[in-house]
Copies of this chain bind each other. A is one copy, B any other.
Amino acid sequence: MGSIFGKIFRVSTFGESHGNAVGCIIDGCPSMLEITQEEIQRDLDKRRPGQNALTTQRNETDQCEILSGVFEGKTLGTPICIVVKNKDQHSQDYDEIAKCWRPSHADFTYDMKYGLRDYRGGGRSSARETIGRVAAGAVAKKFLGDNVKITAWVESVHAISMPLRKDTPTQEEIESSPVRCPHVQTSAKMEEFIKKAKAEGDSLGGVIRCRIEGLPAGLGEPVFDRFEAELAKAMLSIPASKGFEIGSGFASTRMFGSQHNDIFALDENGKPTTLTNNAGGVLGGMTTSRPVEFRVAFKPTATIAKEQKTLSRELKETTVVGKGRHDPCVLPRAVPIVEAMAALVCADTLLIQRTARI
């Protein structure tokens, strides 16, 4: 249970890190959508390892193949299955961890829940699981079209934070930074700091900010399936995420209502808008048509090259040193995953929105 996301645009993902393949089925994608393997590949390429010195050196091209649901360049309305074969498995790196629980990894909880786990490369808890999400997200983005723009970027790594960006950075700005931080000086500092942490066998966390522009008002379903609730679930489902805030978020708790309230007014086109957007684009669980803006906290990568105490599966004290290949900081590669999950939420809520009125 737990590997299906969405109510109409439903994504089932599958795959372990060192199994045969990873991927997804999208059930409920509307028909007549033009989509190519290349468009999906483009997003997968942003997520794939080995892009630069900051990421794991696992060498995967992550070539996707569409097995179904697309015919003559268009979606059929039938399930779309997308598969990526695993290639560069170094399973021998993981023999040791078969027998113990790496600190702050999911080894222990998989053992507790299921009584066994595929320990090779983290199995299902590996970041490779997110390939299915990114592939599905690429289809969702295509469905959203050019009117909806989802932009995520790294806002902070450890204590290094970029200035608040009021306008939305371009994809070019973001992609030109190896850290995916669209502020040149901050990006350079982050890069240096990540390399230093890596050299010391340590790891780092940080915050990703994401902005969704172009959504119509009214998306999201009160009371449980609020737009921000679905987003929160989507973001907390990403490996290593520890927090979510929408709009003013935790900072709102230190404001007065008279400061925080967003005043309604007409925009230049005579349409209703709000002068501020502390709401982060949602009121009462539904979008306001103002940008949806949220932040996601990621903890430092659990795998570190330092020796750590731990327990073996037989409850003996032992030590473990992170081998395998891993990112010292997941933030840069988490950017396309945040965008993909946001796209899934948008696609699903937009489809459900069609049923709101008679």
**Whole-angstrom distance from the CB of A193 to the nearest CB of chain B?**
11
Name the residue on B nearest A74 (C-beta). Answer: B116
Q: Are B255 and A114 in contact (CB under 8 A)?
A: no
Q: Determine which of B14, B79, B206 lies in contact with A67 in the assembled complex, contact meaning CB atoms within 8 Å.
A: B14
A308: chain B residues at CB < 8 Å are 258, 261, 263
Q: Determine which of B65, B219, B222, B297 lies in contact with A125 in the assembled complex, contact meaning CB atoms within 8 Å.
A: B222
Is A41 in contact with chain B by the CB < 8 A criterion?
no
A164: chain B residues at CB < 8 Å are none
**Whole-angstrom distance from the CB of A143 to the nearest CB of chain B?**
7
A266: chain B residues at CB < 8 Å are 311, 315, 317
Known: A159-B254, A257-B301. Contact between A233 and B229, CB under 8 A?
yes
A7: chain B residues at CB < 8 Å are 1, 7
Q: Are B225 and A229 in contact (CB under 8 A)?
A: no
16 A–B contacts from the bound complex (CB under 8 Å): A4-B4, A14-B68, A20-B66, A30-B355, A31-B114, A77-B357, A103-B261, A203-B257, A229-B234, A242-B253, A243-B243, A257-B301, A257-B303, A257-B304, A258-B308, A260-B299
The CA-CA distance from A333 to B135 in the complex, in Å, is 35
Q: Are A124 and B222 in contact (CB under 8 A)?
A: yes
Q: Are B110 and A286 in contact (CB under 8 A)?
A: yes
Name the residue on B nearest A18 (C-beta). Answer: B71
Known: A31-B356, A112-B286, A354-B355. 16 other contacts (CB 8 A): A1-B7, A1-B225, A3-B79, A5-B224, A13-B223, A20-B65, A76-B114, A76-B124, A103-B263, A104-B261, A106-B284, A108-B288, A242-B249, A243-B243, A243-B245, A264-B311
